[in-house]
Structure 1
């Protein structure tokens, strides 16, 4: 989310015309759909057809974290709202203030938009900007993890991003937030991965507006850089990982770097904007391989790297998704119904960077475990 504006960047490569659109059944919403750029004949400003259609059109959603609970799919997105705030490098135009959960029994089936699951006014420590969340389940309890600004102002008059947790007995909420953020947490984009041994790990962080560059030594620099990271010839800033305690609400260790290596085994450099980490960590396991996936931000790719344990290091493998329409690219990946699925978002419905819509398309793997790059457009 959240950063230097490159208006409506879109992929240019052409994929086979035989590629199928994943048809979605939108939530009911009166006559709004007729006013939107929606349906298999919808076109981008460049005249291209979209690979897939928005899951829902009654609200704007982005940053989808999808999970399979009790055989059904639940998507935990951020909830975009209309604001008059101009686009800027810090993402102030992304002024989301609550969460609503999307649910479906299968990809392609009817999608239900749940009621408000959590509102910023019900989070004691938070001030604004409920950005990309994630969820987890353990022993009868659902956990919602979310970033928000606290009430301690920085040089820009904005709060410092922390990560909170809220709980519910239902996957769609309502969720009750803990009174304080997770101790030792910072930045944004929490994503929780639970391994086969039952241990859970939180991946988090985002540069530029996400403030990760201000935490170089584990202490927040209120006067630190906003966007110019000044390390093009040095190892890129890494996302973070911390194992969670059994309570799923606290870190069992000090967060550490998630290192991404190039094909020579050397750290990807800060100046390598097509491969370096920007935000939106998401981890899944296929066979014995751990896939660390993330967004490159200002170059608008979704990338993946692979490793043999949750901590990495991870070796860069390639692009998962080419640039979508709009600025941000934030995603999740799940297995359901014998297939793998990529959830992502673009700006098809609004043509505005801060009003996005969640989509899904099938993700495939080559025999060697590599992921063929997906084009979000058909032609």
Structure 2
């Protein structure tokens, strides 16, 4: 037990509060961050950015203020997914009915004869441990040319759950069963509806709704290179149609390169934050990716302004 000494019983010095998050916001090589808010806490679920043979687990990070982050290691591991043999990446995590569902890509399948694709795991807490829900992929085949990777799960205002996913320059949207055990036809009978927004589309889908409009964000360029970036479109429904408006996030030769595969935090006063990964300047190793956070701002017409990447990150923002 510490004992205060001195004329006025001075207490031990406390660490000074951080003025900003800084970028990267936590140490280590991580990518494809999924941002979520559970139990009045910010959560980020990233890919462990390592060579495929080592990319076999997921860590998570939590924060009360966007500035100080706590690591939760190994919340889902490849040995707990019997059909997964090679590489886990691109989490998407949602709460549904008091359970937490962790969607992921595994095995990097190249054709329909290989086993892999998009899986889903479930846990009782945001930090797991997660267990495989189905014992098989939720989506394990190519549809409309889309490789089954890089999924994002979106709940519309009417309670309908959708999953947007796809690589190899094709994007699909599917309607999920309420228990996430499968997919359902759309109103027109389509199950896997292609919504590829532009020829430049590569991967990394994200969707959110603001002022009655659906914003669709995705990544372009090569994920290992400096030209990785984020573009967006706006539509009147989650199924589009979507037409590319332009890039909002790309490399800055004074800050970092390869900025892409983003997620979003939204404050209760229409303050928005973009969470993404980027490569350090001067580093050519494609797996050397770090997670960063910066402000995302809209103009009066609802268009997203180009994001200014920073080394400072964002100011503290405790949740109410």
TM over 0.5: yes
Corresponding position of 2:87: 129
Answer yes or no: is 1:194 the counterpart of 2:155.
yes
- After superposition, where does 1:90-169 map in structure 2 within 5 Å? 95-108=54-67, 110-149=68-107, 159=114, 161-169=116-124
With over 3 angstroms needed to count, the CA separation of the structure-2 counterparts of 1:153 and 1:343, relative to structure 1, is closer
CA contact (8 A) 2:221 2:229 kept: yes
Corresponding position of 1:287: 211
Answer yes or no: is 1:306 the counterpart of 2:234.
yes
CA contact (8 A) 1:104 1:111 kept: yes
With over 3 angstroms needed to count, the CA separation of the structure-2 counterparts of 1:246 and 1:185, relative to structure 1, is farther
Answer yes or no: is 1:63 the counterpart of 2:24.
no
What secondary structure sits across from 1:316 in the alignment?
Answer: coil
CA contact (8 A) 2:294 2:310 kept: no
Corresponding position of 1:278: 202
RMSD over aligned Cα atoms: 2.6
Deviant stretches of 4+, over 3 Å: 152-155, 158-161, 183-186, 324-328
Out of 175, 191, 196, the residue aligned to residue 243 of structure 1 is 175
With over 3 angstroms needed to count, the CA separation of the structure-2 counterparts of 1:170 and 1:134, relative to structure 1, is same
Superposed displacement of residue 256, structure 1: 1.1
Select the structure that is richer in strand.
2
Out of 18, 23, 28, the residue aligned to residue 20 of structure 2 is 23
- After superposition, where does 1:169-248 map in structure 2 within 5 Å? 169-178=124-133, 179-183=135-139, 187-207=148-168, 237-248=169-180
Number of positions where the alignment pairs a residue of Structure 1 with one of Structure 2: 274
Aligned-partner Cα distance in 2 for 1:104–1:349: 27
Aligned-partner Cα distance in 1 for 2:42–2:23: 17
What secondary structure sits across from 1:315 in the alignment?
Answer: coil
Corresponding position of 2:47: 78
Q: Deviations over 1:76-115 (max 9, x none)?
A: 110123x4xxxxxxxx5x851110111111222x101102
Corresponding position of 1:318: 246
With over 3 angstroms needed to count, the CA separation of the structure-2 counterparts of 1:185 and 1:55, relative to structure 1, is farther
Aligned-partner Cα distance in 1 for 2:54–2:121: 20
In structure 1, the gaps of 5 or more residues are: 1-21, 25-51, 84-91, 208-236, 261-267, 271-275
In structure 2, the gaps of 5 or more residues are: 1-18, 143-147, 186-190, 312-320
Aligned-partner Cα distance in 1 for 2:194–2:110: 26
CA contact (8 A) 2:230 2:259 kept: no
CA contact (8 A) 2:231 2:247 kept: yes
Answer yes or no: is 1:333 the counterpart of 2:264.
yes
Aligned-partner Cα distance in 2 for 1:364–1:370: 9
Superposed displacement of residue 154, structure 1: 6.3
Higher RCO structure, 1 or 2 (CA under 8 Å, sep 6+) = 1
Superposed displacement of residue 353, structure 1: 1.8
Superposed displacement of residue 122, structure 1: 1.1
Q: Deviations over 1:329-362 (max 9, x none)?
A: 2111120253101001112299232021111111
Superposed displacement of residue 326, structure 1: 4.4
- Of structures 1 and 2, the larger Rg is shown by 2
CA contact (8 A) 2:23 2:310 kept: no
CA contact (8 A) 1:192 1:202 kept: yes
Out of 267, 279, 290, the residue aligned to residue 347 of structure 1 is 279
Q: Deviations over 1:180-221 (max 9, x none)?
A: 1115555200100111111110011111xxxxxxxxxxxxxx
Superposed displacement of residue 61, structure 1: 1.2
